[in-house]
Chain A
Amino acid sequence: MFQNFGEMIVLLWRVLRLAPQTWRQRGKVMEQLFEIGNASLLMACILSIFIGGVIALQIGPVLVERGMQSYLGGIVGLSMCKELAPVMMAVLIAGRIGSAMAAEIGSMKVYQEIDALQTMNINPNSYLVLPRLTAISVALPLLVIFSILIGWIGGALVCVYNQHIGISFQAFFSDLSQTVKIKHLLNGLFKGYVFAVIIGVVSCHQGLKTMGGPRGIGRSVTKAVVNSIVLILILDYFLTRLLQYFD
């Protein structure tokens, strides 16, 4: 499964070297951004409110039992920031956007559209990969922020209205604002950015190496999503470890 590591690093390197052309491709970047937003905002909202809610639901009664309910806001706030929002949003985007990228580029490969681009001396990396990678690495961090905020609201709602918890909005958010610092938000943003690069590179790489007919496209899509998610979850551990040095 990881035999493609080298190829993906080469792809990333090539696209990074094309970075100066990003402004020229801004039209396509905007197009991609719009698509990402369109495909994921509602889903992100629903996911986040439930994730925030379920964390509060799991931790709340345990803390209440021990008389530590004043820590609830901080715990929900931090776990959304540092862990849940970046990972869940990355999984969502891998499923919705990574799959679409692999399918689109894969079918262009299979139907010789990429060959046609090359005969016109248009570099597929700058025409196809660069705008997608740029868009996803802008969109996912923004989506993480959005998810954090919605997750907090979800957590707060459960804390206030669940009969086993029952703390006030004020209590929840005052602890949250005392505990969560800017650096924790940046932590989430950073993870989101790294995950975005992973999804973009894995999906575009799978798309570009698609072989065969429609079945090949299907295989690429599956691989793009599965490999992205596995890589994200593994890397999440090491990123967390790394970020602890800055805490």
Chain B
Amino acid sequence: MSATHPTQRGVRVDIQGLRKSYGGQEVLHGIDLTVQPGEIFALMGPSGSGKSVLLKHVIGLEKPDAGEVSIEGEPIRSQAVRDRYRMAMVFQSGALLNSLTVAENVGLYLVEHRLKPPAEIVRIVREKLDLVGLNGVEAKYPNELSGGMKKRVSIARALVIDPQLILYDEPTSELDPLIAVTIAEEIVKLKRRIGVTSLVVTHDRDLAFGIADRIAIIQDGTILFAGAPADVKRNPDPLIQRFLNAEFKIHIES
């Protein structure tokens, strides 16, 4: 039941019984999740709950101790699967190559896989950088950019891949509200245009409830709840309610 036009649509992601320990300490305690093709799936949870580790397993950077991640029913650990589907990840830290310029970073995928002639690559790179609100930085090196700019370059680099599955690790942290909205719009546009499947890790409640089709809450390596945004909001679990409703309430005593 593999797609007739794998290039035209997003892919389904199945995570089954995923467990992972580092140095004897279990970080993921058996995660089960399914992300439907073309869905925007937001993953929220406190710091250190295992969100980044989970993303690394989804794209095949880490090998699980138990359980499996599959793309369209095929295991991600196989190189053939990683070759067949186009996937991209926006790292929490950006993870740009420091020895390359912004333009080289963004164009790297096309250059290394020889997918386009050089002039075309220049055009695509400019287009994707425009999309994330950056221009005139092509020749700069990553260490000359601010944290938010690096993040946006990293998003542009992921967009160049024209992915069927895109993983965002905190896409809007470090961004000002205006750019954050642009990025959120871009995530939605990408879904509409090519039906890409998006898995978004975020602390940003506005982002999650603004764009996600479904939301999962993860705490200490366990999924507490996954469902439509409205159901997450109504969920009575006190942990979830506290996480969703935390506010700054600072009382200054006089």
Task: List chain A positions with a Cβ less than 8 A from chain B.
Answer: 104, 107-108, 111-113, 115-122, 127
Q: Is the CB of A113 within 8 A of B88?
A: no
Number of interface residues of B (CB under 8 A): 22
A119-B61, A119-B87, A121-B82 known; A112 and B93 CB under 8 Å? yes
20 contacts between A and B (CB under 8 A): A107-B98, A108-B97, A111-B95, A111-B98, A112-B95, A113-B95, A115-B61, A116-B91, A116-B95, A117-B97, A119-B61, A119-B88, A119-B89, A120-B109, A120-B112, A121-B82, A121-B109, A121-B113, A122-B108, A122-B109
Measured between beta carbons, the chain A residues less than 8 angstroms from B232 are: none
Measured between beta carbons, the chain B residues less than 8 angstroms from A111 are: 93, 95, 98
Interface string of B173-197 (1 = CB under 8 A from A): 0000000000000000000000000
Q: Is the CB of B161 within 8 A of A120?
A: yes
Contact pick for B96, options A116, A118, A121, A122, CB 8 Å: A116
Measured between beta carbons, the chain B residues less than 8 angstroms from A119 are: 59, 61, 87-89
Nearest chain A residue, comparing its CB with the CB of B83: A121
Q: How far is the CA of A230 from the CA of B39 in the complex (A)?
A: 55
Q: Is the CB of A120 within 8 A of B108?
A: yes
B56 within 8 A of A: yes
Measured between beta carbons, the chain B residues less than 8 angstroms from A118 are: 60-61
Measured between beta carbons, the chain A residues less than 8 angstroms from B157 are: 120
Nearest chain B residue, comparing its CB with the CB of A107: B98
Name the distance in Å between B46's Cβ and chain A's nearest Cβ: 22
Q: How far is the CA of A116 from the CA of B161 in the complex (A)?
A: 12
Which of B17-73 touch A at CB < 8 Å? 56, 59-61
Q: Is the CB of B113 within 8 A of A115?
A: no
Q: Is the CB of A113 within 8 A of B97?
A: yes
Q: Is the CB of A113 within 8 A of B112?
A: no
Interface string of B113-125 (1 = CB under 8 A from A): 1000000000000
Name the distance in Å between B117's Cβ and chain A's nearest Cβ: 16
Name the distance in Å between B221's Cβ and chain A's nearest Cβ: 20
Measured between beta carbons, the chain A residues less than 8 angstroms from B82 are: 121
Measured between beta carbons, the chain B residues less than 8 angstroms from A113 are: 95-98
- Please name 13 further chain A to chain B contacts, defined as beta carbons within 8 Å, in addition to the given A112-B93, A115-B56, sorted by A numbering: A108-B98, A111-B93, A111-B98, A112-B95, A113-B98, A118-B61, A119-B61, A119-B89, A120-B108, A120-B157, A120-B161, A122-B109, A127-B112
Which of B70-108 touch A at CB < 8 Å? 82-83, 87-89, 91, 93, 95-99, 108
Q: How far is the CA of A122 from the CA of B108 in the complex (A)?
A: 9
Nearest chain B residue, comparing its CB with the CB of A122: B112
Nearest chain A residue, comparing its CB with the CB of B89: A119
Q: How far is the CA of A35 from the CA of B60 in the complex (A)?
A: 34
Top 8 A-B residue pairs of the complex, sorted by shortest distance between their CB atoms: A116-B95, A112-B95, A119-B89, A120-B109, A122-B112, A113-B97, A115-B61, A119-B59
Q: Is the CB of A115 within 8 A of B108?
A: no
Name the distance in Å between B103's Cβ and chain A's nearest Cβ: 15
Q: How far is the CA of A119 from the CA of B62 in the complex (A)?
A: 11
Which of B83, B91, B161 neighbours the largest number of chain A CB atoms within 10 Å of its CB? B91
Q: How far is the CA of A119 from the CA of B85 in the complex (A)?
A: 11
Measured between beta carbons, the chain A residues less than 8 angstroms from B98 are: 107-108, 111, 113
Name the distance in Å between B55's Cβ and chain A's nearest Cβ: 10
Q: How far is the CA of A23 from the CA of B143 in the complex (A)?
A: 31
Q: How far is the CA of A125 from the CA of B24 in the complex (A)?
A: 30
Name the distance in Å between A229's Cβ and chain B's nearest Cβ: 27
Q: How far is the CA of A114 from the CA of B81 in the complex (A)?
A: 20
Q: How far is the CA of A24 from the CA of B187 in the complex (A)?
A: 34
A120-B161, A121-B82 known; A115 and B109 CB under 8 Å? no
Q: Is the CB of B95 within 8 A of A115?
A: yes
Name the distance in Å between A211's Cβ and chain B's nearest Cβ: 11
Name the distance in Å between B161's Cβ and chain A's nearest Cβ: 7
Nearest chain B residue, comparing its CB with the CB of A127: B112
Measured between beta carbons, the chain A residues less than 8 angstroms from B87 are: 119
